[in-house]
């Protein structure tokens, strides 16, 4: 759904909160939800999904797969059924696919289309239309697809799929699970073996799920940690039953809120802890955060636990750049934690944050500064001097930070508001619905 034209902006002020207490369950993992629908749509037969994230981004994926021939139905809360068309049988959609705000939908679907004999036009909102697509256009062009993109390799763009596509061996020039996944999805309908070489590991949901759906996929890890992923094409996918674990990237906002607000103790149930996603918890523990894993178990082939989080005195750290891919979406809220820690936090090697739903380095530096934090913005990161546990000053009535159509900036600054003396105004909370439609309800339930 595009926010820039559909409905008016929704400003909101987030006020300081008393202790946060109680148990919550966050919505399903966004990455796994997208992939459940896409792979279900390529399997022959019925895939059943529970715990699906019903955020706008995932609904964009569902609408796109319907437009290309699959049956994608909601049968209850988070409960969905997908009847796939089979690999190679995606249909030409009747019009452009509107990807709304969703980079994951766009890049992964560009991969799917690239090896089908169809032509698809992709559009998106103002945020998505600024994001670079060259990173997927390059490998998919090598596979034989052709593209007509807007200036700078951006949306709106048209993909003409190749039939047959050509298998490639591709070394990822950026640490990006979306680029990796676009190639693996294109490879499903490509004869022969396609190989993706990943020098820096990124989230591995595509690999796990493709194997789960019966694709012939192998992962070899070399001595230096480089991952070599090979998939055999002209695959036949078998329908699956998938229980989507809770999204660690959504849990992140409540983890940090509970650490920052004095007296808080919160349990967040069913949080996915795939090691390629669990970087934030590791860094917060290094900072002194009290986060316990309860009832560790497996859900939908992914490690999961209930997290118990207690208010903690945090210390600043130098964040190891090597951990960045395992918490790439969590930096905005980590910056909020750092703004209240004791001492200095240095986060570097984060150029990728400049091409997310917004330029998250500048957006967070500007927003946190307005809320009274001490921030130095660098080319590839931020240096944050914390308050030593004191609340942030907050902002005057009527003042608002700019979220740039970025859900994670809105939710991070909501957390900053809870941990402030006078509150934080956010210019527009509509984007929160892209990934976390019940964020405000859960926040209200913990704040009592
Ligand atoms: C995602 C990969 C990451 C992440 C995004 C979801 C995915 O993007 O930021 O929210 O589901 O593959 P990049 O591949 O651009 O790092």
**176 CA to centre of ligand 1 in angstroms:** 6
Q: Is the CB of 328 under 6 A from ligand 1?
A: yes
**104 CA to centre of ligand 1 in angstroms:** 6
**180 CA to centre of ligand 1 in angstroms:** 10
Q: Which atom of ligand 1 is nearest to the CA of 328?
A: 9
Q: Is the CB of 104 under 6 A from ligand 1?
A: yes
Return the best residue to mutate from 106, 131, 178 for the ligand 1 pocket (most ligand atoms within 8 A of CB): 178
Return the best residue to mutate from 30, 31, 411 for the ligand 1 pocket (most ligand atoms within 8 A of CB): 31
30 carries a ligand binding annotation: yes
pLDDT at 4: 53
Q: Is the CB of 67 under 6 A from ligand 1?
A: no
- Contact, 113 vs 120, CB < 8 A? yes
**438 CA to centre of ligand 1 in angstroms:** 22
pLDDT at 448: 83
| CATH match of 12-28+245-447 with 3.65.10.10 | yes
Low-confidence stretches of the chain (pLDDT beneath 70): 1-5
pLDDT at 300: 83
pLDDT at 301: 86
Q: Is the CB of 250 under 6 A from ligand 1?
A: no
Is 30-243 in the same CATH topology as 12-28+245-447? yes
Tell me the CATH architecture of domain 30-243: Alpha-beta prism (3.65)
**107 CA to centre of ligand 1 in angstroms:** 10
Q: Is the CB of 183 under 6 A from ligand 1?
A: no
Map out the domains of the chain as residue ranges.
12-28+245-447, 30-243
pLDDT at 5: 55
Q: Which atom of ligand 1 is nearest to the CA of 179?
A: 14
Return the best residue to mutate from 111, 176, 279 for the ligand 1 pocket (most ligand atoms within 8 A of CB): 176
315 carries a ligand binding annotation: no
User: What is the per-residue pLDDT across 341-356, written as a single tens digit (0 to 9) for each?
Assistant: 999 999 999 999 999 9
pLDDT at 410: 98
User: What is the per-residue pLDDT across 405-422, written as a single tens digit (0 to 9) for each?
Assistant: 999 999 999 999 999 999
Which residues belong to the active site?
A: 329
**178 CA to centre of ligand 1 in angstroms:** 5
Q: Is the CB of 31 under 6 A from ligand 1?
A: yes
66 carries a ligand binding annotation: no
């Amino acid at each position: 759904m595009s926010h820039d034209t559909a409905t008016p902006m929704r400003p909101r002020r987030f006020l300081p909160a008393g202790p946060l207490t109680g148990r919550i369950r966050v919505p399903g993992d966004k990455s796994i939800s997208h992939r459940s629908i896409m792979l279900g749509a390529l399997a022959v037969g019925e895939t059943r999904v529970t715990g699906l994230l019903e955020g706008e981004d995932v609904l964009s994926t569902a609408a796109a797969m319907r437009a290309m021939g699959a049956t994608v139905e909601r049968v209850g809360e988070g409960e969905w059924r997908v009847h796939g068309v089979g690999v190679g049988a995606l249909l030409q959609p009747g019009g452009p696919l509107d990807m709304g705000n969703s980079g994951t939908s766009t890049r992964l679907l560009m991969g799917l289309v690239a090896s089908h004999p169809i032509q698809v036009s992709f559009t998106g909102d103002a945020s998505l239309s600024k994001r670079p697509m060259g990173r997927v256009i390059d490998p998919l062009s090598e596979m034989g697809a052709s593209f007509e993109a807007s200036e700078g390799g951006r949306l709106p763009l048209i993909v003409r799929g190749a039939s047959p596509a050509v298998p490639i061996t591709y070394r990822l020039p950026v640490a990006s699970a979306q680029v990796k996944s676009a190639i693996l999805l294109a490879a499903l309908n490509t004869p022969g073996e396609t190989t993706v070489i990943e020098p820096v590991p990124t989230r591995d949901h595509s690999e796990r799920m493709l194997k789960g759906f019966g694709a012939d996929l192998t992962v070899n890890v070399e001595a230096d940690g480089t991952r070599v992923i090979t998939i055999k094409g002209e695959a036949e996918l078998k329908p699956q039953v998938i229980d989507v674990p809770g999204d660690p990237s959504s849990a992140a906002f409540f983890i940090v809120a509970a650490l920052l607000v004095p007296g808080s103790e919160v349990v967040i149930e069913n949080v996915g802890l795939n090691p390629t996603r669990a970087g934030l918890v590791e860094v917060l523990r290094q900072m002194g955060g009290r986060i316990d894993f309860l009832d560790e178990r497996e859900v939908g082939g992914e490690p999961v636990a209930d997290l118990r989080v207690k208010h903690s005195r945090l210390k600043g750290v130098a964040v190891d750049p090597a951990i960045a891919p395992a918490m790439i979406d969590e930096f905005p809220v980590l910056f909020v934690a750092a703004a209240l820690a004791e001492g200095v936090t240095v986060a570097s090697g984060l150029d990728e944050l400049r091409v997310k739903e917004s330029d998250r380095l500048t957006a967070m530096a500007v927003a946190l500064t307005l809320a009274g934090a001490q921030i130095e913005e660098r080319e590839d990161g931020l240096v944050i001097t914390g308050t030593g546990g004191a609340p942030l000053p907050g902002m005057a009535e009527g003042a608002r930070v700019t979220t740039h159509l970025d859900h994670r900036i809105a939710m991070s600054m909501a957390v900053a508001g809870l941990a402030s003396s006078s509150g934080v105004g956010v210019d527009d909370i509509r984007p929160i619905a892209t990934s976390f439609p019940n964020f405000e309800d859960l926040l209200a339930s913990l704040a009592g």
